[in-house]
Amino acid sequence: MSTQPANTRPLVWIVTGGSRGIGRAVVERVTAQGDHVISLARGVATSPFTHPQRVMEIKTDVTDSDSVGRAMKTVAEEYGSAHALINVAGVHRGGRIDDLTRESWDLVLATNLTGAFEMSRAAVPLLESGSAIVNVGAVVGLRGFPGDVAYGSAKAGLSGMTQVLAAELAPRNIRVNLVVPGFVDTDMTSGLSERARARIVSSIPAGRTGKPEEIAQVIVDVAGATYMYGATVPVDGGLLNSFSGGAR
């Protein structure tokens, strides 16, 4: 989704999880194009954006419909409409079925799946014809990985939701697609032990982890793809094709 000509208004993006990681990288990429972004997160960015004049930060809990509703009301008042919704916000809690707590399960499902639902439901009335929704999934949502029952379930659900919304919203000329990152260096993955990290990297054909900026590049390209509906786009260094879900 490229910047519009100078004689038209800039594009307006809504990005959840925009304060850090992949979400932050999306914000930086589109504001560098001259577009405007509403960054939604539970907290504000810890360091200044490169183009702060093009970013509106709104503290938002995507699991709370009232919080989401207030954010979208602000978007409507400030911009009138939007051109893209990028659902990045997520949390991770690991654990196998015999030790994962119900609290962790509920948090992961609420943030990664219900949050994307709440955002999509609230944002669709603001999206213009020709707009896009890009959901950010995960390899574990398509291929099983022991110890990731909550995260894998949430991301698998997000894949299904993407397919349904793509069919529902296509007649309104709103495109919905799924981008599937592999192992990316973010705050979410920073807590892994060196042993666990080395094991994962050894299974990636590219031989390295991904960077948030590399994922953001694909997200922005998918948002701008005018004949793409319901697609699943891996950007994972080849991990999905080589992944083995065997016991570990």
Element holding 106 (H helix, E strand): helix 102-109
What amino acid is encoded at 236 in this protein?
A: D
Residues with a known catalytic role: 151
- Which CATH number fits the domain that encloses residue 175? 3.40.50.720
pLDDT band at 187 (very low <50, low <70, confident <90, very high): confident
Query: Is residue 221 a part of any domain in this protein?
Result: yes
Let me know if residue 238 belongs to a domain. Answer: no
The residue segments making up the domain with residue 205 are 12-233
With contact defined as beta carbons under 8 Å apart, do 16 and 40 qualify? yes
Asked if residues 208 and 201 have their Cβ atoms less than 8 Å apart, the reply is yes
- Answer yes or no: is pLDDT of 6 > 50: no
What pLDDT, on the 0 to 100 scale, is given for residue 7?
A: 45
Residues 26-38 have a mean pLDDT of 98
List of residues 6+ apart from 202 with CB closer than 8 A: none
Among 248, 244, 236, CA closest to 207: 236
243 lies in a domain?
A: no
In a domain, 248, yes or no: no
**Residue 106 domain-assigned (yes or no):** yes
Max CA separation in the chain (angstroms): 59
In sequence order, the β-bridge partners of residue 180 are 234
Q: Nearest-CA neighbor of 86 among 47, 41, 43, 52?
A: 41
Between CA 137 and CA 182 the distance in angstroms is 9
- Write out the DSSP string of 30-85: HHHTT-EEEEEESS--SS--SSGGGEEEEE--TT-HHHHHHHHHHHHHHHS-EEEE
- The pLDDT tens digits of the residues spanning 143-169 come to 888 889 999 999 999 999 999 999 999
Q: Say how many domains are in the chain.
A: 1
Are 83 and 13 in contact, with CB atoms under 8 Å apart? Answer: yes
Run of H or E including 130:
strand 127-136
Q: Which residues pair with 107 in a beta bridge?
A: none
Assigned domain for 97 exists: yes
In a domain, 244, yes or no: no
Tokens of 7: 């004689």
Query: Is residue 245 in a domain?
Result: no
- State pLDDT tens for residues 70-125: 999 999 999 999 999 999 999 999 899 999 999 999 999 999 999 999 999 999 99
